[in-house]
Amino acid sequence: DGGITQSPKYLFRKEGQNVTLSCEQNLNHDAMYWYRQDPGQGLRLIYYSQIVNDFQKGDIAEGYSVSREKKESFPLTVTSAQKNPTAFYLCASSASGADNSPLHFGNGTRLTVT
Amino acid sequence: GDSVTQMEGPVTLSEEAFLTINCTYTATGYPSLFWYVQYPGEGLQLLLKATKADDKGSNKGFEATYRKETTSFHLEKGSVQVSDSAVYFCALSDRGGSARQLTFGSGTQLTVLP
């Protein structure tokens, strides 16, 4: 079955450490996205990529970095510069970044930084 | 900028009750409108969408009508089931439905009791 796989489901880190969240898709989608979800808030876009080797900052990119070396993979690194990294992180993809291309989401990674 | 305002939860209903979750929006252009659903421990799934005024989106017994005059996209279902318990997100895209331009509401938690 095609889909988006995020791993791990739960991640714990000490403050000051960088951590990388994995996102893999086998839907052959061109566009991929990272969102952050906090309690009582909607999703906020961190980064997105419409094509391999290209990515753009979203609304809250500070303290995060990404890479898109392969079509299937879009890992997110939460750096020590991110002031409040504890959150639920969702990866998504769409066939293209164009009009009305629906988003497909992974099941998320819950990151806790202490 | 664009914004989406959803009715605050949590909402608790008995099985077979009528559901309405209110959603209003502010946008500069002519947005596409979406409802996403998030089941416990999962990512979001597209529930329904509407791309122009007076369009009605429908899926799995849920409906929402794009009302430009009241800038609303309220979600309704005539008879809810326990399996409908989830968080519902209203969203808009002000660039013809492009996923990278999605603005999400804060989500409404629905619990349906048997």
Tokens of A46: 């961190």
pLDDT band, very low/low/confident/very high, at A96 (cuts 50, 70, 90): confident
Give residue-wise pLDDT tens across range A15-60: 999 999 999 999 999 999 999 999 878 899 999 999 999 999 999 9
Instruction: Write b or e for each residue in B24-60: b if 16 or more Cβ atoms lie within 10 A of its Cβ, otherwise e.
Output: bbebeeebbbbbbbbeeeebbbbbbbbbeeeeebeee
Rounded to whole angstroms, the Cα distance separating A110 from A87 reads: 6
Q: For A80-94, how does the pLDDT look when each residue is reduced to its tens digit (9 = 90+)?
A: 888 899 999 999 998
Touching check for B4 and chain A: CB below 8 Å?
A: yes
CB distance from A31 to chain B under 8 Å?
A: yes
**Residues B9 and B110: beta-carbon distance below 8 Å:** yes
Mean pLDDT of chain B: 92
Cβ-defined contact of B43 to A102 (cutoff 8 Å): no
The residues that bridge with B89 in the sheet, in sequence order, are B36
- A84 CB contacts (<8 Å, ≥6 apart)? none
Q: Are B102 and A103 a contacting pair at CB < 8 A? A: yes
The pLDDT of residue A102 is 79
Q: How far is CA B75 from CA A40, A82, B43, B55, B110, in A?
A: 19, 36, 20, 13, 12
Q: How do residues B75-111 score in pLDDT, each as one tens digit?
A: 999 999 999 999 999 999 876 556 667 889 999 999 9
A63 at the B interface (CB within 8 A)? no
Distance CA A28, CA B79 (A): 37
Task: Give the pLDDT confidence of B14-44 residue by residue, as tens digits.
Answer: 999 999 999 999 998 788 899 999 998 888 9
Q: pLDDT at position B97, please?
A: 54
Q: Is A43 helix (H, G, I), strand (E, B) or coil?
A: strand
Report whether B75 contacts B65 (CB < 8 A): no
* pLDDT for the residue numbered A1: 63
Note whether B95 contacts A45, CB cutoff 8 Å. Answer: no
Which residues of chain A neighbour B96 with C-beta distances below 8 Å? 98-100
